[in-house]
Amino acid sequence: MKTAATIALVCTTALSCACGALHAAAPSGCTSIQGVAPIFGGIQFGAAIVGIFTNYSGNGDGCADCHTTNGGTTAPTGDLDLDPADSPSPYRNLINVQSPWYPGYAYVVPNHPEQSLLFMKMDCDNPGAGARMPLDNYAGGLTVQQIALIYDWIAEGAPAGTTDGVFRNGFDIRGFAQ
Ligand code: HEC
């Protein structure tokens, strides 16, 4: 109890330190996306990204098989709704939204895939925040091209459409250190 009280004190007095400490271990076992040619602009959420959530396998299997409210009737798995048939849209649910499960993480931090829980969970066996997605390699999992596309979209600023994207600068090194 004494230790817990001390940690709570540190948390309330030093805003920057203790909350960072809540981050679990750094991601590991990450898939390298270095072999996929980067796409530097023009990745639209509606045209290129949401289809990964609904049908990444090409056979109708997607993240939204689990991450859905089933038309507003259930809580989405992991408290994250990635089903475009639901409201609000997956875009609104992701951009700069904090995870209720993993304190200190936002799902998508525009321009920063390396800080975005969505990318970490798709790219790494040990994301440092729960399991790799799709869970248990559901429907065969993602291709490296799909993972790289998510990275490039976030690095572009996670635009909803082509007009609000910004180009990644030339110094941005893509992917996690392996
Ligand atoms: C078979 C069911 C299933 C599928 C398919 C699935 N997930 Fe999940 N997802 C879960 C469960 C269960 C959790 C909560 C446990 C965890 O975080 O590991 C979760 C959690 C998450 C979280 C963290 C949620 C939070 O509130 O912090 C993200 C992000 C996520 N999933 C993304 C995805 C993406 C992207 C896909 C598709 C590529 C996907 N998931 C496919 C079951 C699934």
- CA-proximal residue: ligand 1, atom 23 (nearest): 78
Q: Which H/E stretch holds residue 67?
A: none
Ligand 1 centroid – CA 140 distance (Å): 15
Give the pTM: 0.83
Find all residues with CB under 8 Å of 101, minimum gap 6, and list them.
78, 79, 129, 130
More confident residue, 3 or 50: 50
What is the best residue among 69, 121, 146 to mutate for testing ligand 1's pocket, by most ligand atoms within 8 Å of CB? Answer: 121
Distance, first Cα to last Cα, the chain? 39
Per-residue pLDDT tens for 67-108? 999 999 999 999 999 999 999 999 999 999 999 999 999 999
**CA separation, residue 159 to residues 1, 108, 109 (Å):** 47, 11, 11
What is the best residue among 135, 136, 143, 147 to mutate for testing ligand 1's pocket, by most ligand atoms within 8 Å of CB? Answer: 135
Ligand 1 centroid – CA 123 distance (Å): 12
Q: What is the DSSP string of 18-44?
A: HHHHTS-SPPEEEPP-TTSPP--S---
